[in-house]
Chain A
Amino acid sequence: MLRLPADFHSTGRHVLLWTAASAVVAKGGGSLSAFKISAGLCIGLSAWSALSAKDIYGVVRASAGLLLLLIWWPAAHLLGFWVFVLGFGDACAYRRFGWHAPSASLLLLWLAQCTERGSWTAVPMVAFPTFLALCLIFFFTSRRATTWLVGLCALATLGEIPLAGGVTQIFEDSSVSPPYRQGPVLAKIVGGMVRASGNTDGDPLIVRASHADEAIMWAQRKLIVLVEHEDRGSPSLPVIRGGEISQREPWSDNQFFGNQYLLAAVAQDGQWVSNLGGRLGKSGRLLLGSNTHRGGDSIEPLVISHRDRVYIQDSDPFVDRLSAYQPTAIREIVRGVIMFRLVNLGFAITSLAGTVWGTLAASGLFVTIVVWLALPQAGDVRISGRVCWPHEPAKLSGVLRSLVDAGQVMVRGDKHCRLLIVGDGRSETVRPGERLVLASPDSTIRVGRKSFHVDDLPLGDVDGVVDARTVSGHGCVTVVDGVTIIGTGSPSKQEWTKWLR
Chain B
Amino acid sequence: MDKMVAIVCGVLAAVACVWFGRFTETFLVAGLLCATGLFLHQLRSAAFYTLMCAVSLAMAVSCESRMGCLLPGVLLWIARMILRDGMPASLRTLWVALLPVSLLFLGSENDRDVFLIISIALSVCIPVPHVPSANEHPRQKGLWLLGCGLFFVMSIVVVLPGLVGRGGKVAMFQGGVWAQSTKVLRPEIPLNIESMYSYSELREVLQANLISPAQLDTTYGEAWLIMPTKPLPEHDKASVATWIRGGGTLIVLTDHTDLFGHGRAVNDLLKPFGLYTSYTAFFPLRQGTAAQGSPGESVALKTSNIHYGTFLWPRLTARWFNEAADYSNKNFFGALRPSADDDVSRRTIAGYVNAGRGRIILMGDSTLAANFALYQPGTIPLLEQLRHTGVIPALLPIIWLAALAGGIYSLAGKRGDMVSSIAILGLWGILDFGRHEVRWPVFEWWSGDRSCVVEWGNPDQRASTAYAVAVLSGRKPRWADGVDDTKRGVWISAEPPPNARWRWLDIRRSDTTELPHDSRWDPFLMLVSAKAPLCWRMAPNLIHERIGGVWTDDAMGDWWFDRGISKAKHQRIDSWVAWLNEASPPFRVLPVDSGSVKLIPYALRIEGRDVHRIELPGLALSSGNEVLLGKGVSAEAVHVDGTNILYGNKPFTESWNAPSSWVLIPMEGGARP
Contacts and interface: CB of A to CB of B under 8 A. Distances in A.
Contact of B326 (A2, A63, A252, A394): A394
A50 B214 CA distance: 64
Contacts of B55: 44
B545 interface: no
B638 to A, nearest CB: 29
Given A40-B57, A44-B58, A70 B73 contact: yes
Interface string B592-627: 000000000000000000000000000000000000
Nearest to A459: B327
A218 interface: no
Chain B, interface SS category? helix
Contacts of B341: 386, 388-389, 392, 395-397
Contacts of B62: 36-37, 40
A395 B73 contact: no
A37 B328 CA distance: 40
Interface stretch (B332-340, B497-505, B524-532): B332-340
B54 interface: yes
Given A37-B62, A394-B334, A467-B327, A389 B57 contact: no
Size class of the contact patch on chain A: 35 or more
A252 B324 CA distance: 18
A458 interface: yes
A297 interface: no
B73 A66 contact: yes
Nearest to A467: B328
B77 A389 contact: no
Interface in A25-49: 36-37, 39-41, 43-45, 47-48
B83 to A, nearest CB: 10
A9 interface: yes
A36 B65 CA distance: 13
A393 B43 contact: no
A318 B421 CA distance: 57
Contacts of A67: 74
A87 interface: no
Given A2-B43, A48-B50, A73-B70, A394 B329 contact: yes
Interface in A1-17: 1-2, 8-9
Contacts of A389: 335, 337, 339-341
A249 interface: yes
B588 interface: no
B326 A490 contact: yes
A47 B326 CA distance: 42
Contacts of A458: 327
A70 B70 CA distance: 6
A490 B81 CA distance: 47
B266 to A, nearest CB: 15
B340 A271 contact: yes
Nearest to B70: A70
Contacts, number: 116
Interface residues of B, number: 37
A120 B199 CA distance: 58
A250 B339 contact: yes
Interface in B314-351: 321, 324, 326-329, 334-335, 337-342
A172 B329 CA distance: 35
B47 interface: yes
A251 interface: yes
A36 B64 CA distance: 9
A51 interface: yes
Nearest to A53: B80
Contacts of A59: 81
A460 B327 CA distance: 7
A153 interface: no
A489 interface: yes
A48 B46 CA distance: 12
A47 B100 CA distance: 15
Contacts of B51: 48
Given A393-B334, A395-B334, A43 B324 contact: no
Given A43-B61, A44-B57, A393 B340 contact: no
B651 to A, nearest CB: 28
B509 interface: no
B76 interface: yes
Contacts of A70: 70, 73-74
A466 B326 CA distance: 11
**4 closest A-B pairs by CB:** A44-B54, A389-B339, A40-B58, A252-B340
28 contacts: A9-B47, A36-B62, A37-B58, A37-B62, A39-B61, A40-B61, A43-B61, A44-B58, A47-B54, A47-B73, A48-B50, A70-B73, A73-B70, A249-B339, A252-B339, A271-B340, A388-B339, A389-B335, A389-B337, A391-B335, A391-B339, A393-B329, A394-B329, A397-B341, A460-B327, A467-B326, A489-B326, A490-B328
Interface of B: 3, 42-43, 47, 50-51, 53-55, 57-59, 61-62, 69-70, 73-74, 76-77, 80-81, 285, 321, 324, 326-329, 334-335, 337-342
